[in-house]
């Protein structure tokens, strides 16, 4: 018999997860409903007010793990780059219940929101309850939290309680670029995706910060900071020359696969073309 839990508070949910670590958390349920794996118990979190809060804490933006896409799209604090990706997630019906935290925990290389989150150095807040009833929390960079396809760096007793974007006001001031390629314009799993951020000094041609990440071209989202730093190191603002070198570097790094949605060759070729377009626009100041 399947056991279902309906906690009324986060503390109650964490206690249940501690005592029954194999129970499967359910917020929006959009991934769980189509899963081919049945669990012995489910922990329903949609009613927890503690997970339905988005706020600023110091320099960080804290997004509650129970916030649905629809709610986040209406939230003025959410960075536009992240909203651009959320608008591409499935259908309106899915966006009404699916959550950002769920997209992260699904740990799919094709996750629409993952490239923007990697660009913004997002962190995942994990909470748990000790044996004596104390609630503890830790944060992991999203690149440390997602370790592979459907693989997470998470203890059995932990729940994801928030997604944190450090220094979000800086990324809000950067020029953004988002591209998703699918079989059709909407309601499609991505063949590949790309997110980029660029900060250019208004009084000069110097680019002081650049970030870019690829989806669906590796077992996790691909962001290589050394390549970003290489672009910033271009002498005398000659970014166009450096863009060609970086594109050649990434031609050797990106490792897409063939599957039912696309071929590895197509994914790599289009990803590199999008990268070229992004870097060119950054160089020209035309984002």
The residues with which 238 forms a beta bridge, in sequence order, are none
Cβ neighbors of 66 (< 8 A, separation 6 or more) are 27, 45, 46, 48, 51, 52, 99, 101
Q: Which two tokens stand for residue 51?
A: 């997970």
Supply the pLDDT for residue 62: 97
If asked whether residues 160 and 195 sit together in one domain, one would say no
Kindly state whether residue 275 falls inside one of the protein's structural domains.
yes
Please compute the mean of the pLDDT values over residues 253-281 and round it to a whole number: 93
**What is the rounded distance in angstroms from the CA atom of residue 121 to the CA atom of residue 202?**
24
Kindly state whether residue 20 falls inside one of the protein's structural domains.
no
Distances, alpha carbon 116 to alpha carbons 73, 121, 235, 256, in Å: 15, 9, 28, 19
Please, where are the H alpha helices in the chain? 10-19, 69-73, 80-86, 92-97, 100-106, 114-119, 142-145, 168-172, 225-232, 239-253, 264-284
- The closest of 135, 100, 133 to 116, measured between CA atoms, is 100
Kindly state whether residue 93 falls inside one of the protein's structural domains.
yes
If asked whether residues 101 and 126 sit together in one domain, one would say yes
Number of other residues whose CB lies within 10 A of the CB of residue 4: 11
**Residue 94 structural domain:** 48-168
Kindly state whether residue 234 falls inside one of the protein's structural domains.
yes
Q: pTM of the prediction?
A: 0.94
Kindly state whether residue 35 falls inside one of the protein's structural domains.
no
pLDDT digits (tens, 9 = 90+) for 204-230: 778 999 999 999 999 999 999 999 999
- The closest of 227, 231, 223, 214 to 271, measured between CA atoms, is 214
* Phi–psi pair at 8, nearest 5 degrees: -100, -15
If asked whether residues 52 and 164 sit together in one domain, one would say yes
If asked whether residues 144 and 102 sit together in one domain, one would say yes
Domain C-terminal end among 118, 143, 168: 168
pLDDT-based confidence at residue 15 (cuts at 50, 70, 90): very high
Kindly state whether residue 10 falls inside one of the protein's structural domains.
no
Supply the pLDDT for residue 33: 63
Kindly state whether residue 29 falls inside one of the protein's structural domains.
no
The CATH number covering residue 112 comes to 3.30.465.10
The CATH number covering residue 280 comes to 3.30.390.50
Give yes or no for residue 180 having a pLDDT over 60: yes
Kindly state whether residue 218 falls inside one of the protein's structural domains.
yes
By CB atoms closer than 10 A (0-12, 13-18, 19+), residue 166 is: middle
Cβ neighbors of 203 (< 8 A, separation 6 or more) are none
How many structural domains comprise the chain?
2
- The mean pLDDT value of the chain amounts to 91
Place of tokens 């604090």: 77
């Amino acid at each position: 018999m399947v056991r279902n839990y309906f906690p009324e508070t986060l503390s109650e949910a964490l206690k249940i997860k501690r005592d029954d670590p194999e129970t499967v958390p359910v917020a929006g349920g959009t991934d769980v409903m189509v899963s081919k794996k049945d669990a012995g118990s489910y922990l329903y979190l949609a009613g927890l007010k503690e997970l339905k809060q988005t706020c600023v804490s110091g320099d960080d933006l804290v997004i509650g793990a129970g916030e649905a896409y629809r709610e986040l799209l209406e939230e003025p604090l959410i960075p536009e780059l992240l909203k651009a990706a959320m608008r591409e997630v499935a259908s309106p019906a899915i966006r009404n219940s699916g959550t950002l935290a769920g997209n992260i925990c699904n740990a799919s290389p094709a996750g629409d929101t993952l490239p923007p989150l990697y660009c913004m150095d997002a962190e995942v807040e994990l909470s748990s309850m000790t044996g004596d009833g104390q609630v503890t929390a830790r944060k992991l960079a999203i690149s440390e939290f997602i370790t592979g396809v459907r693989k997470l760096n998470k203890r059995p007793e932990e729940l994801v309680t928030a997604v944190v974007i450090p220094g979000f006001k800086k990324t809000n001031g950067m020029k953004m670029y988002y591209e998703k390629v699918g079989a059709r314009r909407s309601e499609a799993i991505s063949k590949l995706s790309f997110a980029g951020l660029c900060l250019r000094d208004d009084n000069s041609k110097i680019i002081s910060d650049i970030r870019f990440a690829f989806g669906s071209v590796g077992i996790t989202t691909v962001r290589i900071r050394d390549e970003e730093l290489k672009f910033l190191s271009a002498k005398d603002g000659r970014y166009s020359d450096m863009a060609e070198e970086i594109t050649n570097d990434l031609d050797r790094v990106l490792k897409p696969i063939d599957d039912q949605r696309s071929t590895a060759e197509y994914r790599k070729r289009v990803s590199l073309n999008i990268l070229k377009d992004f870097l060119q626009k950054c160089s020209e100041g035309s984002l």
